[in-house]
Structure 1
Amino acid sequence: MAFSPLVDELVESLRCLPGVGQKTAQRMAFHLLERGRGGGERLATALQGAMSGVRRCNSCQNFADTEICNLCADEKRRTGTLCVVESPSDLLAIEQAGYYDGSYFVLMGHLSPIDGIGPQEIGIEQLLKRVRGEGVTELILATNPTVEGEATAHYIADRLEGQNVLITRLAHGIPVGGELGYVDGFTLSHAFRGRKPLAD
């Protein structure tokens, strides 16, 4: 059964969201039209504003509505340490943990030649220029522990070989509170490779 063209367009537009199929899109559309018109109008305004006003920070490539994002503009952040992540959601996870207080660089992806994503597409030249120009002393490669994430980390490390920069990688392994019987082989192998002496 077809609805009006406006309803059909709303349903199809909602399907662009990850994990939203036809039925879920219909439920969302019907909810907005039946009981959430105020919320729908607010959503439309927020979407329009974000789509036209959000850009990439000129320094770290994170989402921002100004040339330099709030994190890069914060003078309280520790200089000399730069953490490289694949996405804004990775940056947010690190920020929410509340431990790291240095600077960031958001790749907005990872190297994937099969998908046509090379160094230019994720801003590696801009990253290298920033490392060399800002006197970065430690570069933390916090890319995801996937094949592509590992390849991206190794590529960046290779490009900085011979520079006076300490290159570190986030530790991977068994989560606190986890049991060995439930940990996958990939995680276990990372944990074994990253083992260190027991602290006194």
Structure 2
Amino acid sequence: MANRVAGPEIEKLIQLLAKLPGLGPRSARRVALHLIKKKDQLLVPLADAINQAVTKVQICETCGNIDSASPCTICTDRRRDPALLVVVEDVSDLWALERAGVVNAAYHVLGGTLSPLDGIGPDDLNIPGLLVRTAKGDIREIILAVNATVEGQTTAHYITDQLQNQAKDLQADNPTFERIRISQLAHGVPIGGELDYLDEGTLLQAIRSRTSFE
């Protein structure tokens, strides 16, 4: 059994770093050692930034994005097209599209995908919030920017059914209500691919070549 080479505080830091995506025990040790060596330049500012994130970061009540204010910066940006809504699985997908600068629209974060095997149903996602937004009649097109996975496509089909049923009910009460166009990402997104790992060119092509969801 290997002997300890550092105190419990450092061991705890390494253990926590090892839980981050892309970091294993060895990488976590290297990162921890680098932070400690650069204590004043890195470790102290990082600790302060994490503390501020804990106290100030919150989930946007409108779209589900993560920001220090609610509604978030994106939802309060009047330069965006309020008639175009991009639906994504996670905040990382929203940030990926924003990083690529491919669309100037509002967003809606689902918080995951439908997965019966994992016990994730419609009530576990932000689908009711989406229906509340579409019922107002301000949205003209929804882009289902979900990942090209089985779970992602299952979720897209479910959302489409819900939106179509909602449109029928709204039109029954208000014949002038216009149905929302539903489109999906097209060329450039491979089957099984995830948005956060795609480059900006691929995302741009996927947005520009979107097709009606069927």
TM-score for the superposition, normalised by structure 2: 0.77
1:114 aligned to which of 113, 117, 127: 117
Decide whether aligned partners of structure 1 residues 38 and 91 sit closer, same or farther in structure 2, where only a CA change above 3 A counts: same
Q: Distance in 1 between matches of 2:28 and 2:137?
A: 46
Match of 1:170 in 2: 185
Which letter maps to 2:186?
A
2:94 aligned to which of 91, 94, 104: 91
Q: Distance in 2 between matches of 1:49 and 1:18?
A: 21
Equivalences, count: 177
1:136 and 2:155 equivalent?
no
Secondary structure at the aligned position of 1:7 is classed as helix
2:7 aligned to which of 4, 21, 29: 4
Deviation at 1:35, TM superposition (A): 3.1
2:84 aligned to which of 81, 84, 87: 81
Deviation at 1:53, TM superposition (A): 1.6
Which letter maps to 1:54?
V
Deviation at 1:136, TM superposition (A): 1.2
Q: Distance in 2 between matches of 1:8 and 1:99?
A: 43
Secondary structure at the aligned position of 2:117 is classed as helix
1:62 and 2:65 equivalent?
yes
2:106 aligned to which of 95, 103, 119: 103
Tell me if structure 2 keeps the 8 A contact 1:145–1:172: no
Q: Name structure 2 gaps, 5 residues minimum.
A: 168-178, 191-208
Match of 1:29 in 2: 32
Deviation at 1:108, TM superposition (A): 2.0
1:41 aligned to which of 33, 38, 44: 44
TM-score for the superposition, normalised by structure 1: 0.82
| Identity of matched residues, % | 41
Deviation at 1:19, TM superposition (A): 1.9
Of the two structures, which has the highest relative contact order with CA contacts closer than 8 Å and spacing of 6 or more?
2
Decide whether aligned partners of structure 1 residues 68 and 139 sit closer, same or farther in structure 2, where only a CA change above 3 A counts: same
Match of 1:184 in 2: none
Secondary structure at the aligned position of 1:160 is classed as helix
Q: Deviations over 1:139-182 (max 9, x none)?
A: 1100010111101111100111142111111113478xxxxxxx
Tell me if structure 1 keeps the 8 A contact 2:112–2:125: yes
Tell me if structure 1 keeps the 8 A contact 2:88–2:144: yes
CA RMSD for the aligned pairs?
A: 1.9
Q: Deviations over 1:84-122 (max 9, x none)?
A: 011222112222332311110011211112112222222
Match of 1:154 in 2: 157
Tell me if structure 1 keeps the 8 A contact 2:148–2:189: no
1:19 and 2:22 equivalent?
yes
Q: Name structure 1 gaps, 5 residues minimum.
A: 176-193
Secondary structure at the aligned position of 2:63 is classed as coil
Which letter maps to 1:172?
H
